[in-house]
Amino acid sequence: MPRARGGCGLPSREPAAPFLVGFTAYKGGTGKSTVAFNVGLEFARYYQGFDGVPRRPVVFFDLDPQGRSDEGGRTLKKMFEDGPFRLRSLHSPIPELDVQVVEYDPDEPVPVDGVNGSFGSYGLVDSDASFAPALLAVPKNIRIRRVKPLRRLLAAANELLFQYLEDRGSLDSKLREYLSSPPLGVVDTPPMNAASDTFAGILTQVDLVIPVVDPENVRQLSLFCKLYVTRLAVVNRVPPDGLTREAKFFDGVLNRILNKIPLNKDEVVKIPERPVIRFASALGIPVRARPDKRHSGYFREVARHIRADWNRRRYGSGVRI
Ligand SMILES: Nc1ncnc2c1ncn2[C@@H]1O[C@H](COP(=O)(O)OP(=O)(O)OP(=O)(O)O)[C@@H](O)[C@H]1O
Ligand SMILES: [Mg+2]
């Protein structure tokens, strides 16, 4: 295989532009981290089929120092630490960020007191599940105000992963192909009511901002549309049965809001409240890795929208990645 600049061994096909997506919410507990985690991992799938989402190296940026909601709010870092993943620190090329490789491993122990066994041994993850290694970046200094260090890490991500996998002798042809494509950056930020000034700047500099609101607060979508160019939003934890009075009420409110803001109905992805999502998220398990993985379809839908937006950014309409 031809060698790339600097002899790093990446295939010579020049990766096109990386893409940076920021998840945001007005308040804690809307499911921002759960959505960021699962949507990012939709791109990091390994042996599983295409399903409309291309495989991409993924860099998770955890800019939320702590989950804030009373309801067991999670950070991306905590989800990877608790879940079926092995984390290994890398020498970070970016002074502002600590960087770890996260590798899916169903043999990791379940982090629950009194439980002695792995995710795999308890059947908490499906035996077919597989994910490509990704990067997790956490600021050394939480006052990162600009997106530049994030972009610099994204630019270095493929080579970092390549070196790591080559050193461990685990670089197969599939991973080589995967590392020849541009990486996706997934940013989780604290809720705006907790840290608006610090993170508002970052969110104006990412390629796509995705607000995550709960059904009671769909009105907040107009706030996000004023603050950012919003082309996609998630309403998470909607009542699962679309026919209940509650669900109809939220739909009515959402429709009225959509008449007033520059988002179309198909640019709002609704994710229902599901015990499997709550359970998986509490243990850091990607919903896609669960035996009941059909519920990952909602996250895949968000991923397909991201892909479409990424395509438009890079080539104008019509050309696909
Ligand atoms: N669709 C869903 N169905 C059921 N439970 C969900 C769903 N989405 C998220 N949850 C649960 O809601 C809680 C809050 O989710 P999460 O921690 O992802 O929110 P957050 O916005 O990141 O919160 P924080 O701001 O506190 O970090 C978690 O317990 C999570 O498991
Ligand atoms: Mg969170």
Q: Which of 60, 210, 281 to mutate to test the pocket of ligand 1 (most atoms within 8 A of CB)?
A: 281
The bound ligand whose nearest atom lies closest to the alpha carbon of 278 is 1
Q: The pTM is what? A: 0.91
Residue 248 scores a pLDDT above 90? no
Q: What is the mean pLDDT of the chain?
A: 87
Whose CA is closest to atom 27 on ligand 1?
A: 67
What is residue 8's predicted lDDT score, i.e. its pLDDT?
A: 46
Q: Decide whether any atom of ligand 1 lies within 6 Å of the 67 Cβ.
A: yes
Confidence of residue 144 (pLDDT cuts 50, 70, 90): confident
The DSSP-derived string for 161-202 is HHHHHHHTT---HHHHHHTTS--EEEEE---HHHHHHHHHHH
Query: For 237, how many CA atoms within 13 A lie in the half-sphere containing its CB?
Result: 16
Which atom in ligand 1 lies closest to the alpha carbon of residue 66?
Answer: 27
Residue 217 scores a pLDDT above 70? yes
What is residue 47's predicted lDDT score, i.e. its pLDDT?
A: 72
Mean pLDDT of 73-89: 93
What is residue 9's predicted lDDT score, i.e. its pLDDT?
A: 46
Cβ atoms < 10 Å from Cβ of 252: 10
Mean pLDDT of 153-181: 94
What is residue 56's predicted lDDT score, i.e. its pLDDT?
A: 94
Residue 215 scores a pLDDT above 50? yes
What is the distance in A from the centroid of ligand 1 to the CA of 34?
A: 6
What is the distance in A from the centroid of ligand 1 to the CA of 163?
A: 34
For the chain, give every domain's residue range.
Answer: 5-210+283-294
The percent of residues in the chain predicted with pLDDT above 70, rounded, is 87
Q: What is the DSSP letter of 90?
A: E
In 3D, which of 258, 287, 257 has the Cα closest to residue 271? 287
Task: Among 2-11, 253-262, 303-312, name the one with the lowest average pLDDT.
Answer: 2-11
Confidence of residue 142 (pLDDT cuts 50, 70, 90): low
